[in-house]
């Protein structure tokens, strides 16, 4: 089952793992972070893991990068990167999150199977 938000699609891969694919050209800002938080509050009451698929080009505002992915039930986030640009972009976002002390449960992967396996291990 897929869920459509204004900036992404969310697909359930298993009982507690979801894949998020950001729309091509989206700008993740505070409004997107709030929309995502509202979605997860209304949709889940159990812990879950996210596979963020960076196959499309998109960007972040400073506050969007800081606030996205901060739902209390989101236990782990695996970020799947498939090119150097998306890897650099995600490094910047994770560096920002590290400044605020909330990167311990986020990891970047280039292999989809490894990312899903890591998510399943919690």
Q: Where are the domains of the chain?
A: 2-120
pLDDT tens-place string over residues 35-66: 999 999 999 999 999 999 988 888 888 888 77
Q: What is the pLDDT of residue 97?
A: 46
DSSP for the chain reads -EEE-SSEEEEE-SSSEEEEEEPTT-EE-HHHHHHHHHHHHHH-SS-EEEEEE--S--EE-HHHHHHTT--TTEEEEEEE--SHHHHHHHHHHHHHHHHTT--TTEEEES-HHHHHHHHHT-
Enter the pTM of the model: 0.83
Query: Domain 2-120 adopts which CATH fold?
Result: Transcription Regulator spoIIAA (3.30.750)
- The whole-chain average pLDDT of the chain stands at 84
Query: pLDDT for 100-114, tens place per residue?
Result: 455 568 888 888 999
């Amino acid at each position: 089952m897929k869920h459509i938000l204004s900036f992404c699609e969310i697909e359930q891969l298993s009982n507690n793992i979801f894949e998020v694919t950001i729309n091509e050209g989206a700008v993740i800002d505070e409004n997107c972070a709030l929309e995502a938080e509202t979605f997860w509050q209304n949709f889940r009451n159990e812990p879950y893991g996210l596979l963020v698929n960076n196959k499309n080009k998109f960007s972040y505002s400073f506050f969007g990068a800081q606030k996205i992915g901060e739902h209390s039930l989101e236990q782990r986030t695996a970020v799947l990167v498939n090119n150097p640009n998306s890897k650099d972009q995600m490094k910047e976002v994770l560096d920002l999150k590290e400044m605020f002390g909330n990167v311990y449960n986020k990891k970047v992967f280039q292999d989809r199977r490894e990312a899903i396996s890591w998510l399943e291990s919690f």
